[in-house]
Amino acid sequence: MKICTKNHHHWSLLDSLPLDKNGFGRYKCAGCAYEKGYQAGENREETFNIDLDSLHETQSGSAQYKSPHAAFAQGYYDGISNTYSNECS
């Protein structure tokens, strides 16, 4: 699996996520997990698979050791919230 080269490592929104220092997820890019969750949220998917194997490996920076599960959930929430705010405007 390729190491992530996207520039989302320093997203401040990842700062508050819990750490996953010992789990399998510590090697995975929380930024990519967030984006994947966000997509699922925007599509209001009712079933989804985080599929850690499909995520890039984390490089360094704030996304390192962040829980990709939590990042996915945060992204999903933000994606869902975005669809509602669009309806209100």
Q: Which residues bind Zn ion (CB under 5 A)?
A: 4, 6, 29, 31-32, 56
Question: Which residue number, 7 or 86, has a Cβ lying nearer to Zn ion?
Answer: 7
What DSSP string runs through 39-75? HHHHTT-SS----GGGSPBP-SSTTTTB-HHHHHHHH
24 versus 44: smaller Cβ distance to Zn ion: 24
Residue closer to Zn ion, measured from CB, 32 or 50: 32
* Cβ atoms 72, 36 nearer than 8 A: yes
Residue 7 C-beta: closest distance to Zn ion, Å: 9
Closest approach, Cβ 26 to Zn ion, in A, equals: 14
Two tokens at 4?
């992530």
> Please, what is the minimum distance in Å from the beta carbon of residue 85 to Zn ion?
25
Of how many residues is the chain composed?
Answer: 89
